[in-house]
Structure 1
Amino acid sequence: MVHVFGPANAPGTSALQLPDVVMELGQRFVDAGHELSLVGGPVRDLFLGRVSPDLDFTSDADPDAIIAVIRKWADSFWEIGRDFGTIGMRKGDYTIEVTTYRADAYDADSRKPQVAFGTSLEDDLFRRDFTMNAMALRLPSLELVDPYGGVRDLHAGMVRTPGEPSASFSDDPLRMLRAARFASQLKVSVAPEVAGAMTDMAERIEIISAERVRDELVKLVNGKDPRAGIDLLVETGLAAHVLPEVAALKLEIDEHHRHKDVYQHSLTVLEQACELETDDDGAVPGPDFVLRFAALMHDVGKPATRRFEPSGAVSFRHHDAVGAKLTAKRMKKLRFDNDTIKAVSRLVELHMRFYGYGEAGWTDSAVRRYVTDAGPLLERLHRLTRSDVTTRNRRKAERLAFAYDDLEQRIAALKEQEQLDSVRPDLDGQRIMSLLGIKPGPVVGRAYKFLLDERMENGPQEPEVAEKKLLEWWSRQPESATLPEES
């Protein structure tokens, strides 16, 4: 590890650390007659006191020259990004990319650049997204190149672009989402001119692929301050294009204040869910996208279900079920995988289930169903439900917390007695078919469901008891009179 002690033009820095491979690679390029600089995120991260395992470099060398320099040095290399001037490689534990200086031009209707190689490091830095990412360390001299004030903006906690924000976002509209992502990840603010350009150009995000939008959203939601990132998307109008269901919460205004601000409530639930992630017991280690996104989306069904009652009260009946469908639909459009879609939408669907317990208490049967319906999402559901309490009425908050403490204690006691994580009927499918003399088909499914309901209602039973109940159920089914008896 190489220590870099405060470059003269880098105010406020102390000892910065660079992996040895950085200096080795820089020396190889210089010995071959080329320039090499560490650039972008890795340089920014040095000023934040961290070292990234992914190292990005830029050089005046073209792809052929890059390969000639690193062929015998790298453990392996690949040319997938060759058309864009990028050669990737592995050296020890590090993933490295070296890219030829770029001077790209963009089509107004596409974010795909017309690739053109450049000859100047400063020009290459100018085409980058933000000033904090437009810094470089020349190697092996370790001279800091910061022509656009990246260190200044990083210390000020401000996101700015090297040139005009409108030109930068026109070139690559995804940069608008990155600005919101940095607000979340780095807990920085966006300069007024950047926020203004994001607002004016929000609709240009439509030309970006759903997959790339999804990836930025995941990073934003998993950041240190996701509330700030989401709020920026909503305030600039970007959310209307990428998360319109959340933007709609902002528009859900009740001028008579008959219900709470659903938008601010949702952001608070998101914050509280983040605080309940637990690394110590490993139950829901953070950042957990499924829990966080469910917290953000849990009330998106409210605008469609809001009703003003004759009494003057407002209701949102079935907003949990409607919200689950809206969440799944949005996530499909963003090209999330099926498992993540099912997990998030299921949590949205279940987030109101607990309130029946708080109001009237539950039988053991209801507790079993709660656990079974949540399945592997139970720990996340615990945290989502607790996060959903944002009332300023301390007595009400304490009452709900006490009720949920009681529910968790009952779940723990029943789990110890009955292995609730794998609740099954007391008879399996083979025994059902043998006892009733039937073949595989819908009738077996109905019998299985009957026994599962019995198990939920009464807990585990002896096989003889379950068989007797099954035969009694069977005697009431129309098929029992038409199917031949088992010989």
Structure 2
Amino acid sequence: MVDIVPLNTGDIPFADDIIRAAADSGAEVYFVGGVVRDLLMRRRIHDVDITCFGIAYSEFAGLLAEKADATYVPFKDNVRLVKGGVTIDVSKPRGETIESDLQKRDFTINNLALTLKGEIIGDPYDLEKALIRHVYTSVFDDDPLRILRAFRFVSECGFDIVPETCRLIADKADKIKNVPKERVYQEIFRFFSGSYFDKAVTLFFRKNPKDLFRKGNRTKNSAAYYLFPELVDSEDIRQNSIFHRENVLKHSLSVAKEIFKIARGLNIAEERRFVLITAALLHDCGKKEAWLRNNRKNFIGHDELGSRVAAEIMKRLGYPNKYIKRVSFLVRQHLKLTIFAVNGVRKMKLQRFVFENMDEVEDIILLSLADNRVKKFNMKRLYNIILRIRNAQKEIDMSRAKTVSGSDLIGMGVDRGPEVSILLKEVHFRLAFGYLKSMEDVKNFLKEIRGK
């Protein structure tokens, strides 16, 4: 259930400017869609959607841009105004009247309008009951991205998708392939950043029960199959019961939900949380390929393979390069602490790991924690490795490393070229941890290592 609160247009950003622009132009203006939903739910409003009648939407947008002193950005069927972190979308009407306009919107939680006097148009029943229901039968044909948007609303609001909409999603799931990857990525970011991600991701990848999906009980009857086929195809791969409780797909989902809980508990910022959740979901995406390469005997090498597969998945889904790089790195590293915990690791090797991964070591730790908490693993061993990492972090002093440069090494006889950067990295490591304490130590070390 959702508590619906009394409406006050004064709670909408730039409402006064919109009301003045409407009065000056004589236009019939309505707040529509998400802004009405968020206002009723008392959610913070960042996006304001309006539509108008009696005036061209672009003309009204220009008038409003002047009054609000906002940036004006035209698109195909709407104009976006931007100011102070708030976007105002002035959209072309989808019908001759506001009532017919609402009947072309995606879900009943969004086919609501609000007059400038604060009077609601439409039925808020499904919003009150926290239900996601499609408005008309061709809703996903008109815009297949709405399939993914349904799960994004689950993630952001915690709502349930009604059975008939689940069935329609199953029927139309393959259409998501036709959506430009940039639009898909935008929805995935909001999906993975939602406060109810754990609920949404379970529904997104679920084995569709027959009472909800006409096509059967396979995960392939959802958008997940067309966006993340490498994960869905891994649901039939069982793992060694000594270490795992679940198949590869279920384990990946469990790790993603576990890191979501960890990130929420630590109040991790949205962008970093998005990277961690993506890495958790994709951390074992190389297991099927490794399993086939290894004659279906084991998953050796799946971390390296997974790094490549994860990059391919993210490129296909329109992820920016900065996220592709960070997630691929985490997927490649996700086994490191587990291997240290099982096999042991010498002090200097662990220090080198910390030195080489200073910027990412915290996220490697979190991913390893999530991965091992949901399977059969001796967590005391992992906690001991993390404690040793914390001690190494206390010991490291990068200011000592900065006392030596590449020019210094050249002055000590190192030839210009790749050898300088290789040796400088090693010298910096040893200086940072106190293995080398002076310039004389550096000279002696170079003589020794170059002799070898």
TM-score w.r.t. the length of structure 2 is: 0.84
> C-alpha root-mean-square deviation of aligned residues, in Å?
3.3
Q: Which residue of 2 aligns with 1:127?
A: 104
Over 3 Å counting, the alpha-carbon distance change for 1:308 and 1:295 in structure 2 is: same
Counterparts of 1:442 and 1:292, CA distance in 2: 37
Q: For residue 99 of structure 1, what is the amino acid of its counterpart? A: S
Question: CA shift at 1:174, angstroms?
Answer: 0.7
Q: For residue 154 of structure 2, what is the amino acid of its counterpart? A: A
In structure 2, stretches of 5+ residues that fail to align are 206-218
Of 138, 158, 166, the residue aligned with 2:131 is 158
Task: Confirm whether residue 63 of structure 1 aligns to residue 40 of structure 2.
Answer: no
1:173-192 alignment runs, 5 A limit? 173-192=144-163
CA contact (8 A) 1:290 1:340 kept: yes
Question: CA shift at 1:172, angstroms?
Answer: 0.6
Counterparts of 2:204 and 2:303, CA distance in 1: 24
Q: Which residue of 2 aligns with 1:112?
A: none
Task: Confirm whether residue 405 of structure 1 aligns to residue 383 of structure 2.
Answer: yes
Q: For residue 475 of structure 1, what is the amino acid of its counterpart? A: G
Of 164, 168, 171, the residue aligned with 2:142 is 171
Q: Which residue of 1 aligns with 2:333?
A: 350
CA contact (8 A) 1:279 1:285 kept: no
Counterparts of 2:239 and 2:333, CA distance in 1: 26
Q: How many residues align?
A: 433
Counterparts of 1:228 and 1:209, CA distance in 2: 26
1:2-401 alignment runs, 5 A limit? 13-19=4-10, 21-22=14-15, 25-26=18-19, 28-30=21-23, 32-60=25-53, 61-63=55-57, 65-66=59-60, 70=64, 73-76=67-70, 78=72, 80-81=74-75, 83-84=76-77, 86-89=78-81, 94-102=86-94, 118-140=95-117, 142-146=118-122, 149=123, 151-164=124-137, 167-234=138-205, 235=219, 236-253=221-238, 260-277=246-263, 284-286=268-270, 288-306=273-291, 315-391=298-374, 396=377, 399-400=378-379
Q: For residue 281 of structure 2, what is the amino acid of its counterpart? A: L
Q: For residue 327 of structure 1, what is the amino acid of its counterpart? A: A
Q: For residue 66 of structure 1, what is the amino acid of its counterpart? A: F
CA contact (8 A) 1:16 1:49 kept: no
Counterparts of 2:400 and 2:369, CA distance in 1: 25
Counterparts of 2:281 and 2:9, CA distance in 1: 38
Flag the structure with larger Rg: 1
Secondary structure, counterpart of 2:300 in structure 1: coil
Q: Which residue of 2 aligns with 1:444?
A: 420
CA contact (8 A) 2:154 2:199 kept: yes
Question: CA shift at 1:91, angstroms?
Answer: 7.0
Secondary structure, counterpart of 1:73 in structure 2: helix
In structure 1, stretches of 5+ residues that fail to align are 1-10, 103-117, 477-487
Of 403, 409, 423, the residue aligned with 1:432 is 409
Over 3 Å counting, the alpha-carbon distance change for 1:374 and 1:225 in structure 2 is: farther
Question: CA shift at 1:204, angstroms?
Answer: 1.4
Secondary structure, counterpart of 2:89 in structure 1: strand
CA contact (8 A) 1:306 1:314 kept: yes
Over 3 Å counting, the alpha-carbon distance change for 1:301 and 1:317 in structure 2 is: same
Secondary structure, counterpart of 1:414 in structure 2: helix
CA contact (8 A) 2:254 2:374 kept: no
Secondary structure, counterpart of 2:381 in structure 1: helix
Q: Which residue of 1 aligns with 2:215?
A: none
Counterparts of 1:152 and 1:382, CA distance in 2: 45
Secondary structure, counterpart of 1:263 in structure 2: helix
Over 3 Å counting, the alpha-carbon distance change for 1:98 and 1:449 in structure 2 is: closer
Counterparts of 1:465 and 1:91, CA distance in 2: 58
Secondary structure, counterpart of 1:55 in structure 2: strand
Counterparts of 2:395 and 2:239, CA distance in 1: 48
Over 3 Å counting, the alpha-carbon distance change for 1:471 and 1:317 in structure 2 is: same
Over 3 Å counting, the alpha-carbon distance change for 1:364 and 1:426 in structure 2 is: farther
Q: For residue 50 of structure 1, what is the amino acid of its counterpart? A: R
Counterparts of 2:108 and 2:326, CA distance in 1: 38
What fraction of aligned residue pairs are identical, expressed as a percent?
27
Q: Which residue of 1 aligns with 2:212?
A: none
Counterparts of 2:62 and 2:305, CA distance in 1: 59
Question: CA shift at 1:447, angstroms?
Answer: 3.6
Counterparts of 1:19 and 1:279, CA distance in 2: 34
Counterparts of 1:258 and 1:272, CA distance in 2: 17
Q: Deviations over 1:309-344 (max 9, x none)?
A: 99xx95311111111111012112223222211111
Q: Deviations over 1:110-163 (max 9, x none)?
A: xxxxxxxx42111111111111111001222x22111xx4x2112222211111
CA contact (8 A) 1:42 1:51 kept: no
Question: CA shift at 1:460, angstroms?
Answer: 3.8
The 10-residue stretch of structure 1 (65-74 or 451-460) with the greater mean CA deviation from structure 2? 451-460
Over 3 Å counting, the alpha-carbon distance change for 1:335 and 1:68 in structure 2 is: closer
